[in-house]
Structures are given as structure tokens and as C-alpha cells.
Amino acid sequence: MEARRGGERAGRLAVGAEGVRALGVRGVEAARATASLVEQAVQRVEGGVQISVDVGQQWQDVRGRIALVQGVMTQIDEATLSQQQGMHQMRDAIVALSAAVQQAAASAQESASAAQELTAQAQTLGEQSARFEADGSSAGSRARRTLRAA
């Protein structure tokens, strides 16, 4: 009986040992799976860190390009203002030139009118002088004789 009990105990111990062994195998497999998952998580975190670094560098590039564009826009704004001032100066010069041309045209018209009047006066004087000389040859002689007699 004792042997039978010993056999039963040994059987139960064998079953228990088999369960412990199976549990140990499952524990090792679970530990390996957990280690694999942890390694994958570490790789993903490292990948995320690298992505973050890349995004940071790209953001710095974008900020640099924005600053460059702002600089170009400032130069364009300054050039536009300069052009605007130049256009105002050109407009003022054209207005002054137009006034000078109008004044010169008025002066030329006045000069032409005066020249015509002088030409008419000269013609009239010429005509009167011709009449005076025609009439004056006898009048001139009489005037000389009158002066001599006196």
C-alpha cells in the first residue's frame, strides 16, 4: 500500500513537475515575446526620435526660407517706393516742362505778332517816307531857301 501510495504520489509529482515544466516553457516564450516587443518598441521610438529630428531640421529650413522671402519682399517694397518717388519726380518734371513749352509758345506767338506789327509799321513808314521824298524835294528846297533868307 505504501508502494501504491508512493506511486500515486510520484504520479502526482510527475504531473505537477510536467505542469511546472510547461509553465516554465511558456514563461520563457512569454519573456522572449516580451523582449521582442520591447525591442520593436525601442526601434519605433528611435525611428520617432529620428523623424522628430528631421522635422525639426526641415522646420528650421522653412523658417530660413521664410526669412529669405521676407527679405526679398522688403527689397521689393523699397524698390517700389523708390520707383514711385521717381515717377512723381518725372511727373513734376513733365508738368514743369509743359509749362515752359506753353510759355515759350506764348512768347513765340507774341514775338510773331510783334514782328508782323513791326513789318506793317515799317511798310507804312516806307510808304510815308516815299511820299515825303516825292513831296519833299520841292518842300525841302523851299525850306532851305527859307532858312537861307532868314
Res. 16 pLDDT band, cuts 50 70 90:
low
Tens-place pLDDT, residues 51-97: 999 999 999 999 999 999 999 999 999 999 999 999 999 999 999 99
**What letter represents residue 102's amino acid?**
Q
Checking if the pLDDT of 150 tops 60, the result is no
The alpha-carbon radius of gyration of the chain (Å, integer) is 62
Query: Distance (Å, rounded) from C-alpha 104 to C-alpha 28?
Result: 112
Q: What is the pTM of this model?
A: 0.46
Return mean pLDDT, the chain: 84
Tens-place pLDDT, residues 102-123: 999 999 999 999 999 999 998 9
pLDDT at 122 (0 to 100): 87
Task: Kindly state the average pLDDT of the residues 120-138.
Answer: 75
Q: For a pLDDT cut of 90, what percent of the chain falls above it?
A: 61
The grid coordinates listed for 144 are 532851305
pLDDT at 4 (0 to 100): 60
Res. 18 pLDDT band, cuts 50 70 90:
confident
The count of C-alpha atoms lying within 13 angstroms of the C-alpha of 8, restricted to the half-sphere facing its C-beta, is 5
Res. 27 pLDDT band, cuts 50 70 90:
confident
Sign of torsion over alpha carbons 48, 50, 53, 59: negative
**What letter represents residue 104's amino acid?**
A
Task: Kindly state the average pLDDT of the residues 25-47.
Answer: 92
Res. 136 pLDDT band, cuts 50 70 90:
low
